[in-house]
Structure 1
Amino acid sequence: MSEKDQQCLKHVRLTDPRHDKTRIEQTKGGLLPDSYRWVLDNAHFQRWRDYPQHRLLWIKGDPGKGKTMLLCGIIDELDQGKIADVRHCNVAYFFCQATDSRINNAAAVLRGLMYLLIEQQPFVLSHVRKEYNRAGNNLFKDANTPTFHPFSTTMSSSLKKAQSPAPEAKSPKGKEKSPTPGPNSPAADESSEPIEAPLLAGAHWGQQEVDEDNDSTLGSDTESSTASISSSILHYRNVLGRTYHSDSVTDGEYWGPNDAKANELLDIVHAAMVMLFDGKLYTAPLNEKEIKNAIDIGTGTGLWVIDFADDHPNCNVIGTDISPIQPTWLPSNACFEINDATKEWTYQEDYFDFIHLRWLTGIIKDWNALYKEAYRCAKPGAWIEQLDCDAEWYCFDGTMPNDSAMAQWGQIWKEVGRKTGLEFNVVSSSTMETGLKNAGFTNITSEDYYVPVSPWSDDPKMKQLGLYTSVAMTHDVEGFLVYFMPNYLGWTPKEITNYAATIRREFREAKIHSNVRWRMVRAQKPLDA
């Protein structure tokens, strides 16, 4: 470090937040793990920690309730725990104190954060030096000085520079009927199949001794629904304490809850899929200048629609779903409509330039009818794209025992599919490719991606995707179970709870190296159609 760099760093450093943290802990008698470790299993904390769209964690409480020590514990977990290894993260923090004029203002906060950032990423100092060479020590004065804004801008720029992107994980392109495992999996031949394990009865799980699972959310049929609006669309059904779409919207049987926990899971999956494709919302070769109308079928919470509309301000973007769970704030070129995609679509022929579908596994009974409606409403030359997965999971190294909850997951959905007529393995059955071809679409291509269901992979990107999947599933695994298990498999609430607790533990331990198989399929309506 040059003499000028040392001088600049000296002026940045008003205080070392690490020393302040140590002082605070010693003053309060030391940091006790039991005083903060509970927060690590809190859904709000996990969402803030793991998902970039949730950037604010608000911790509030009366004086003396332990907020400061809780934050000290969180800092230790982020700085020293496995999350830092997974995310390659930089941890910067600052402790304000109203009675100390040195550390009770905005400039002090920025200087403390900047100092820790430079300590972890020394190259950031070069960006600070550019403004420091012009303003000198005045750059770091309080917010009332003219140079404070350049300093805050420098801070923002430095944060962007300090983000260390994970090494690119190339997902292989597979044949439509013979996919290749991803880079996180050992080699497997073209006949690779998910684990075939005999289905265990619900009584097996009811007899298990499991730890009390405080995250379990099973309720009773008598619990009141939070949806009190009298509108028929918003008159949700209640099953074991979970709310579901209104029967007035669709005659079909959709099994997914539409309450807060289920919606948060959908948001997590959206973040994971965007990460899988390196920030891209689609892979179809769209003509960006000519696309005028797009639709997202089964939009869920609508994040894809909002993101796509932001990226394509000249395109009208529609998101359809059977539950009005989408946000009311959205771009002016986007809208949400309550529609059942399994019925005849209400849109005119040759209307859409792009049709997007994602994660409809186990939802559609008549895929051919769905694709025929998509074909009718697509313009000649328009693209349709679908990203979906199998409910059965793949393991290539023998770490998934047949009696594990993860191995049983696929068998459960295979049996549910047999009894309901729903397809839960749309990838291995080539349901998407067959249906698109039968509808008249051409130029059908696909790629497969094997994504870990827990953070066991050595590949940084796949490890992060595994963490996303694990957090999503541990957050609301019951949401997949409470509708079908009692009605079709005869499971009791205790059996469901015990199974959920067991698979949640397997997700967190990450000892089983299982993967979910996603497939991206694209097709085009012929220009002369």
Structure 2
Amino acid sequence: MAYKPTTAGAGGSGSGSTQPNLPEPAAIMVASDIDEEEVYIQDDDDDVDSALGDDASSVIHSITSSILEYRTIGGRTFHSEKHNSSYFIPNDEQQLQSQDITHHYLTMLIGDKLFLAPIPENVQRVLDIGTGTGIWSIVFSEAYPNAEVIGTDLSPTQPLWVPPNVKFELDDCTQPWTWSENSFDFVHMRYLFGGIADWDELLRQAYRVTRPGGWAQSCEADVDIRSDDDSIPADSPFVTFWNRLYRESQPKLGVSFQPIDDDVQRKAFERAGFECIEVHDYKFPIGGWPADKRLAEIGMYVQMTMLNDVEGYTLFLWKTVMGENTPGYEEELAKMKKELKSKKRHGYMRCRYVFGRKPYL
């Protein structure tokens, strides 16, 4: 069943002001009945549903592609070197499964919605930047069958069988956008962290192609794993492996993996000229430790995403930070997977949604 907002979304019609001093989301309460010796996921071979080509009832839409010469690093494939971007995430089947699970937990996190921006029911043209598996574009197109939806990505990893109102294009969002001015009612961007060096330019491009009165939305995460109860010691692989790789790779790659700490989204929306900007912050747990059942379920999906492909999230960064042939990666990877399964660790990451409207003429 397609996810669809029950109202115009969490954002109202807009007050015309931003929210400069946002309170930190409340600490997530830990379930009192957790057995710390257990693990959340017993079976690493659980079936993972994927959006890749499952809907046989959809009308076929062929994707033409000329960029299929993928880079191979440690047996994993990454997008073609024909693109200027040095994106750190693989584009193979294992990673695509994690992307589909990520879509699921993000929709749950915001109340089973696809977006928060108050777009109209009769939205006509929608652009999905960094579409990945295409799952957001596909589900949106099913919920809004009268809208034309275009999803873009660095690699042609989307399914061939899609609804007739969806099409996918190969495009690098860090390069000048080719769409004409004022051509979309809604520009959707999600999880571009690690791939954007200039957030101001990204939002300037989004502003240019958005129609007056249209909306743009950005969803990003700070990938630092944190805890509110000191349950993550300094020698945890969360700190010594995961957090270290992401922090130390930032200056080497020239990108930010901490868009919330750096406040890149809101600042870029403001500088681009958007109005009625709203900022919504969330925490998502890693594992089923929260007392709140819905957050516990979200945490299970987050844990599943990471266990499914923690290698894909760290392999490129290990080689970037530690060096191409530095030993020890497999050992650190095993420690990280074990830590992900531990109920002693009450870790979480942070997520921020920002949306804004292009002023009417």
The alignment's TM-score, normalised by the length of structure 1, stands at: 0.57
**Residue 254 of structure 1, CA deviation:** 1.0
Which residue does the alignment assign to 1:241? 75
Structure 2 residue identity aligned to 1:367: W
**Residue 253 of structure 1, CA deviation:** 0.9
Alignment of 1:318-337 (within 5 A): 318-337=150-169
Which residue does the alignment assign to 1:449? 282
- Which of 90, 105, 108 is the aligned partner of 1:257? 90
Q: Could you give the per-residue CA deviations for residues 326-380 of structure 1, whole angstroms, max 9, x where no partner exists?
A: 0011111111000011001110100100000111111101111111111110001
> Does 1:281 pair with 2:281?
no
The alignment's TM-score, normalised by the length of structure 2, stands at: 0.83
CA 1:179–1:362 in 2, change beyond 3 Å: closer, same or farther?
A: farther
Q: Aligned partners of 1:177, 1:261: CA distance in 2, in Å?
A: 39
Q: Aligned partners of 1:480, 1:494: CA distance in 2, in Å?
A: 18
Q: Quote the RMSD (CA, aligned, Å).
A: 2.1
Which residue does the alignment assign to 2:308? 475
Which residue does the alignment assign to 1:367? 199
Alignment of 1:265-344 (within 5 A): 265-289=98-122, 291-344=123-176
Which residue does the alignment assign to 1:434? 267
Q: Could you give the per-residue CA deviations for residues 427-457 of structure 1, whole angstroms, max 9, x where no partner exists?
A: 1111000111111111111111111111111
Higher radius of gyration, 1 or 2: 1
CA 1:306–1:493 in 2, change beyond 3 Å: closer, same or farther?
A: farther
CA 1:294–1:513 in 2, change beyond 3 Å: closer, same or farther?
A: same
Which residue does the alignment assign to 2:23? 179
- Which of 187, 190, 193 is the aligned partner of 1:355? 187
Which residue does the alignment assign to 2:354? 521
**Residue 175 of structure 1, CA deviation:** 5.2
Secondary structure of the corresponding residue to residue 194 of structure 2: coil
Which residue does the alignment assign to 1:160? none
Structure 2 residue identity aligned to 1:357: M
**Residue 280 of structure 1, CA deviation:** 0.8
Q: Aligned partners of 1:257, 1:518: CA distance in 2, in Å?
A: 22
Which residue does the alignment assign to 1:423? 256
- Does the 8 A contact of 1:389 with 1:426 survive in 2? yes
Secondary structure of the corresponding residue to residue 417 of structure 1: helix
Q: Aligned partners of 1:512, 1:432: CA distance in 2, in Å?
A: 30
Structure 2 residue identity aligned to 1:246: S
Alignment of 1:23-422 (within 5 A): 176-182=20-26, 184-185=28-29, 232-248=66-82, 250-289=83-122, 291-408=123-240, 409-422=242-255
- Does the 8 A contact of 1:295 with 1:356 survive in 2? yes
- Does the 8 A contact of 1:481 with 1:496 survive in 2? no
CA 1:175–1:505 in 2, change beyond 3 Å: closer, same or farther?
A: farther
Secondary structure of the corresponding residue to residue 516 of structure 1: strand
Secondary structure of the corresponding residue to residue 357 of structure 1: strand
Structure 2 residue identity aligned to 1:516: M
Q: Aligned partners of 1:175, 1:461: CA distance in 2, in Å?
A: 27
CA 1:177–1:410 in 2, change beyond 3 Å: closer, same or farther?
A: farther
Structure 2 residue identity aligned to 1:385: Q
Q: Could you give the per-residue CA deviations for residues 245-291 of structure 1, whole angstroms, max 9, x where no partner exists?
A: 1122x1121111000111001001011111112221011111112x1
**Residue 483 of structure 1, CA deviation:** 1.3
- Does the 8 A contact of 1:478 with 1:496 survive in 2? no
Which residue does the alignment assign to 2:293? 460
Secondary structure of the corresponding residue to residue 189 of structure 2: strand
**Residue 392 of structure 1, CA deviation:** 1.1
Q: Aligned partners of 2:355, 2:263: CA distance in 1, in Å?
A: 13
- Does the 8 A contact of 1:317 with 1:335 survive in 2? yes
Q: Aligned partners of 1:342, 1:348: CA distance in 2, in Å?
A: 16
Q: Aligned partners of 1:284, 1:344: CA distance in 2, in Å?
A: 25
**Residue 232 of structure 1, CA deviation:** 4.6
Q: Aligned partners of 1:292, 1:442: CA distance in 2, in Å?
A: 21
Q: Aligned partners of 1:494, 1:504: CA distance in 2, in Å?
A: 18
Which residue does the alignment assign to 1:72? none
CA 1:235–1:411 in 2, change beyond 3 Å: closer, same or farther?
A: same
Which residue does the alignment assign to 1:120? none
Q: Could you give the per-residue CA deviations for residues 199-249 of structure 1, whole angstroms, max 9, x where no partner exists?
A: xxxxxxxxxxxxxxx99xxxxxxxxxxxxxxx751111111100011122x
Q: Aligned partners of 1:399, 1:283: CA distance in 2, in Å?
A: 32
In structure 2, the gaps of 5 or more residues are 3-9, 11-17, 31-43, 46-64
Q: Aligned partners of 1:405, 1:319: CA distance in 2, in Å?
A: 36
Q: Larger relative CO (CA 8 A, sep 6+): 1 or 2?
A: 2
- Does the 8 A contact of 2:249 with 2:320 survive in 1? no
Q: Aligned partners of 1:491, 1:181: CA distance in 2, in Å?
A: 39
**Residue 490 of structure 1, CA deviation:** 2.1
Q: Aligned partners of 2:174, 2:291: CA distance in 1, in Å?
A: 41
Q: Aligned partners of 2:252, 2:346: CA distance in 1, in Å?
A: 29
Q: Which structure: greater strand fraction?
A: 2
In structure 1, the gaps of 5 or more residues are 1-51, 54-169, 187-213, 216-230
Secondary structure of the corresponding residue to residue 337 of structure 1: strand
